[in-house]
Structure 1
Amino acid sequence: MSEQGMSVTMRVGAERRPFRIPGGWIGVLPFLIVLVFLFLIPVATLLKSAFGDGAFTLEHFVRAVEVPVYRSVLLTTLTISGTVALLAVVMSYPLAYLMATSRDTTRNILLVVVLLPFWTSSLVRTTAWIILLQSNGVLNQMLMGSGLTDAPIAFVYNLSGVLIGMTHVLMPFVVLPLYASFRALDVSTVRAAESLGAGPVTTFRRIILPLTAPGVVAGAMIVFMNAVGFYITPALMGGPGQTMIAQMIANNITRELNWGFAAALAIILLAVALGLFALFQRIFGLERLISGSGGKSAEPFGTDHRRSPGGWVSVALGLLVAAFLIAPILIVFPMSLGSSSFLTFPPESYSFQWYENFFTASKWMNALTRSLQVAGITVAVSLLIGTAAAVGLTRIDRRWRGLIEAVFILPMIVPVIILSIGLYYLLVPAGLVGTIWGLALGHIVLASPYVFITVRASLASFDRNLELAAQGLGASWLTMFRRVMLPCIMPGVVGGAIFAFITSFDDVVLALFLTNVRSRTLPKLMYEGVAHEIDPTIIAASGLIIIVTVLVLAANLLISRKKP
């Protein structure tokens, strides 16, 4: 064939060959598009206003530095976050040790004690703590009844209330990786130290602490990253002296209408959060978030490990920490059954009137219906794009994976208050604020990363040879996915769906900005009630949420036990 004929043939072939996007990118692109339009653009637009609407200026940042109250708020935020991280670490050690050295039945009970608060609405837990710690609450009644105090102690609406509430919410992030680190310890190392005369303190300081440090540091950094952007717990359990930067940002939007200064504070908060995330990624990598921590040792900690006197002290402390985690949840049910309009524990008489009020009052049922509708949309969309992204990421070039994973994780790192204000700024002109779809869009951004992480973890144990064998036998990729891959990763998909549902159903911050009086969700309605005066119906709603959480947790545990 002549050169001219060959060139014509090549040109015709090129014209007929359609443009094809590599398979991996087809799965990744929907999630990326969602993040670009519903996360990156709203956040960037908000942050841009910090530098002035017209001419470039740094006056908002100068004000944040020069005005003492704003410096104080930033210092308070960092101090509270650091203290909460430290308390979470100190309290997690005895509980993690108890979990690692207990028999299977006891260990499973303790895991439920840790996981139930972890999955339960943070608003429910905060409400329970307010009831426990208020001047006529359970703790003060116990102290005065035992004669230890003559007058109520102020445990709430001050620093102690904020530290207790935030530590309770965030401590599972330390307990779980620390427990994995304990299980990865080789007990023979501890026995060798004890045989050489090392006491409990020396063994802990020279053996246990260094070997469990990576898991502890990782958990503490996750706690700190979450704590710097906390809004609900400090707003409900703290006083003016515990105002954190997220509250100051919201105040400048809702009361002062100063978008530029709120954006400047948001940039400061975002810089702290992203700096910590970059440090976390550099030290540990995203794999710790995706696949967890821990490993296997020759002879892990177990029930055959002899407990020293110090070990028995740790057991006692571990039981106290377990009681700390579960107590707020356990008191909700008895108090929700009380017949009095004044919340007391234990109730003097019992009645279902507050549950009846919940199911008969239109405002509560409308809020519940709206929350379920938004959660349903959120689960459906986030499952689709999160699962597709996790599968697609395994099929693209490795050089892109780290960057894409970091982008997918960003909504979990950036404080929710920043996303809320950014989406409000974006959705108001579109007329979506106050609608179910507007709130659902925000929840999709929050929930999809959890689906991505859980499915990605399941894919890590999927045998690619099964995929190749199915396709080698003539199955299309979709058939292979439906018949082979999906059943294998189903526990991760179900776990992602549960996380997505809880993320949406539990949200308060986005709902505060993206809903109005007619479109309130159940958490927002509960938040408004707690912020003013606790209606016993709120406790009944909390009890129902806990029941749903227990059922969902039980279903997830049953599914996770099934081996693909």
Structure 2
Amino acid sequence: MSSRDYQSSSVADRGMPPLQSRMRRARRLLPLAPLFAFLAIFFFFPVAQILSLSAFDQGGAFTSANFTKAFSDPLYFDVLLITFKIAGWTTVISVVGGFPVAYYLANAAPHSRNALVIWVLLPFWTSFLVRTFAWMILLGRNGAVNQLLLALGIVDAPASLIFNLTGTLIGMSHAMLPLAVMTMLPVMQTIDGNLSRAAETLGAGRAQIFWRIYIPQCMPGISAAAMMVFISSLGFFITPALLGGARETMLTQVIITQIQELLNWPAASTLSVLLLAASIVVFVAYDRVVGLSSLAGGSSDRSARSVTGWSRILDLLGRAIVNGLGSLCASIGAVLAKLLPARAFRGLGRASSLVLFLLVVAFLLIPTLFVIPASFTPGNAVRANPNGFSLRWYEAVFASSDWTSAAWNSLVVGLASGAVALVLGTMAAFAMAWNRFPGKTAALAVILSPLIVPRIVIAVALFFLYSKLELVGTVTGLVIAHAVLAVPYVVITVMAVLATYDRRLDQAAAVMGAGRWQTLRRITLPIIRPGLLSAFLFAFVTSFDELTVALFLTGGSFNTLPRQMWSDLLLQINPTLAAVATLLLVLMTGLLFLNERFRRSAGRS
């Protein structure tokens, strides 16, 4: 909504009696009510309920015994440190590795960028289980990586690349890199290139321009990427469980053990509080330094924000580091300029950017592609280079009632939860995008809270609530849970579409005598339909690939595809899993290209 729209709305409101003006503003915010009620019942209430178990005993009296035990028990403390260490290293690797990809995409021609982004999004849309399974094939003792190292003579015996910290960081970085890229890219695309050209005109070298002009403008995107990756990594358990060892046990795995094996609700609740507190600290720090509105495409106006002592210290520290790196790179550049011909030196920057881009994209794409040949092996062992060709494992998948019923359940739950999230999220997005009201940042924080709260906390909270409502193991319960997880993505996607919508079309329809509902049905919704379809696909994929909540809310005869894959992976790695992973890869690739088509249609509209 443009400032002129806001101004005209506020002028119209000032011309009304105060009560009527307040009623009109309240009516504009009514579309938020269904989503807020939905989140209050199925998100905030169960999360508060499960967290309260850590502070109150069975008699309802306040107690600090659970926290005392958590901090005094060396096991819990060590697991907490391991969780922070793995999440921290994953964040550093993902942001550093994702930056050159985002930089190359931001500076590419628009038509080339649209094609290249697909190759970054492909692993992002691919199931976490599929990607982890691919790394299990590649990093095993007889995997492709060890075979290559042995063939090159780098090692004499197979290296230990799995069931340790190395395998965990490789798998988690591979999972988080696309998220880091797609978070930094929108910020980099808005950077004004005239500033760099002006600095070059004044005599600044390329290294100084990059570090002192370009990098500071990228900091909102870098900070957002670091926050999203770190918070997401805190709640990981798939990759550490399958690629890590006992020393890589993360807090989420301990919470699952406390619930599923020991039925120790107070301990699980206490650990959930610690995990949630860590996420909130990171989230609040990001809001204070950068601004929450930047996550939804808004600007980060630090001049209007309170600047604390810590903010000044971090700002000075960041400037010192950036200036130091700028001077270092400038010195290296001066040496290279003397050693290389002028033409070669000018092309060095572009060539290095392209090489880094190709290396990271290859790291993202190649592991998943190794699953495909493994699915056609005629033998009983999973091999990246099978001897022969057979469709026996695909036949086994389609002949198995376990796999077909799990796939059908995932499809039904994905479509239903996507529809619920689309309706609730679209209504809220209209209210958020087209209205300015006190507490808008807080309202956005409420909507985005399912993204901030670790998914294991949501899973345990809903399991505790559903056990009383008898919704565990039901389609309805899982649809509601997945809708809670998918709603933030729908709101963000639809808000981005509405930000570019020309509201003069609605005004013209009103002048011609159309009512609000008629305008919405015949003008607004048809124009933004591609964006709505894209939001629905995002919600569907979120549900279809979800495992954490499904681990707690499914069971018996009701399984989803990720839950079925997880159960098989824990028992034995077999070619059937490779066949299922290949089918999922084909499905997600098709959905990705379909989403890209919708996105381009929305852009043309």
Same fold (TM over 0.5): yes
| Cα distance in 1 for residues equivalent to 2:64 and 2:259 | 19
1:53 correspondence with 2:53 = no
| Cα distance in 2 for residues equivalent to 1:492 and 1:281 | 27
1:498-509 to structure 2, matched below 5 A, reads 498-509=537-548
Contact 2:429 2:494 survives alignment (8 Å): yes
| Cα distance in 2 for residues equivalent to 1:469 and 1:184 | 31
Judged with a 3 Å threshold, the aligned counterparts in structure 2 of structure 1 residues 232 and 380 are, in CA distance, closer, same or farther, namely same
Equivalent position to 2:380, from 338, 341, 361 = 341
Q: Which letter does structure 2 place at the counterpart of 1:53?
A: Q
Contact 1:24 1:394 survives alignment (8 Å): no
What residue in structure 1 maps to residue 173 of structure 2? 167
Equivalent position to 2:499, from 447, 450, 460 = 460
1:345-378, Cα deviation, whole Å (9 max, x unpaired): 2221111111111111111001011111111210
Q: Could you state the TM-score of these two structures normalised by the residue count of structure 2? A: 0.84
What residue in structure 2 maps to residue 285 of structure 1? 291
What residue in structure 2 maps to residue 41 of structure 1? 45
1:82 correspondence with 2:88 = yes
Judged with a 3 Å threshold, the aligned counterparts in structure 2 of structure 1 residues 461 and 100 are, in CA distance, closer, same or farther, namely closer
Q: CA deviation at 1:307?
A: 4.8
1:265-286, Cα deviation, whole Å (9 max, x unpaired): 1111111111211222233333
1:377 correspondence with 2:396 = no
What residue in structure 2 maps to residue 11 of structure 1? none
1:63-101, Cα deviation, whole Å (9 max, x unpaired): 111111111111111111111111112212322333344
What residue in structure 2 maps to residue 7 of structure 1? none
What residue in structure 2 maps to residue 324 of structure 1? 363
What residue in structure 2 maps to residue 413 of structure 1? 452
1:233 correspondence with 2:242 = no
| Cα distance in 2 for residues equivalent to 1:419 and 1:177 | 24
1:216-255 to structure 2, matched below 5 A, reads 216-255=222-261
What residue in structure 1 maps to residue 314 of structure 2? none
Q: CA deviation at 1:513?
A: 0.3
What residue in structure 2 maps to residue 27 of structure 1? 31
Q: Which moved more, 1:253-262 or 1:397-406?
A: 397-406
What residue in structure 2 maps to residue 9 of structure 1? none
Contact 2:417 2:479 survives alignment (8 Å): yes
Judged with a 3 Å threshold, the aligned counterparts in structure 2 of structure 1 residues 267 and 196 are, in CA distance, closer, same or farther, namely same
1:111 correspondence with 2:150 = no
What residue in structure 2 maps to residue 10 of structure 1? none
Structure 1, unpaired ranges of 5+: 1-18, 295-304
What residue in structure 2 maps to residue 14 of structure 1? none
Q: CA deviation at 1:118?
A: 1.1
| Cα distance in 2 for residues equivalent to 1:146 and 1:521 | 42
| Cα distance in 2 for residues equivalent to 1:293 and 1:532 | 49
Q: Which letter does structure 1 place at the counterpart of 2:407?
A: L
| Cα distance in 1 for residues equivalent to 2:298 and 2:234 | 23
Q: CA deviation at 1:389?
A: 1.4
1:370-401, Cα deviation, whole Å (9 max, x unpaired): 11111121012111111111123346551132
Equivalent position to 2:517, from 463, 478, 496 = 478
Judged with a 3 Å threshold, the aligned counterparts in structure 2 of structure 1 residues 271 and 522 are, in CA distance, closer, same or farther, namely same
Q: CA deviation at 1:435?
A: 1.1
1:515-534 to structure 2, matched below 5 A, reads 515-534=554-573
- Where 2:557 maps in the other structure, the secondary structure is helix
What residue in structure 1 maps to residue 72 of structure 2? 66
Q: Which letter does structure 2 place at the counterpart of 1:24?
A: R
Q: Which moved more, 1:107-116 or 1:221-230?
A: 107-116
- Where 1:374 maps in the other structure, the secondary structure is helix
| Cα distance in 2 for residues equivalent to 1:386 and 1:464 | 20
Equivalent position to 1:155, from 137, 146, 161 = 161
- Where 1:261 maps in the other structure, the secondary structure is helix
- Where 1:344 maps in the other structure, the secondary structure is coil
| Cα distance in 2 for residues equivalent to 1:460 and 1:190 | 28
1:132 correspondence with 2:138 = yes
Q: Which moved more, 1:445-454 or 1:25-34?
A: 25-34
Judged with a 3 Å threshold, the aligned counterparts in structure 2 of structure 1 residues 343 and 23 are, in CA distance, closer, same or farther, namely same
What residue in structure 2 maps to residue 5 of structure 1? none
Q: Which moved more, 1:265-274 or 1:210-219?
A: 210-219
| Cα distance in 2 for residues equivalent to 1:196 and 1:383 | 51
Identity of aligned residues (%): 40
Q: Which letter does structure 1 place at the counterpart of 2:33?
A: L
Q: Which moved more, 1:96-105 or 1:116-125?
A: 96-105
Contact 1:226 1:415 survives alignment (8 Å): yes
Equivalent position to 1:313, from 348, 352, 357 = 352
Q: Which letter does structure 2 place at the counterpart of 1:344?
A: R
Contact 1:133 1:140 survives alignment (8 Å): yes
What residue in structure 2 maps to residue 210 of structure 1? 216
1:164-203 to structure 2, matched below 5 A, reads 164-187=170-193, 190=196, 201-203=207-209
- Where 2:116 maps in the other structure, the secondary structure is helix
Number of paired residues?
Answer: 537
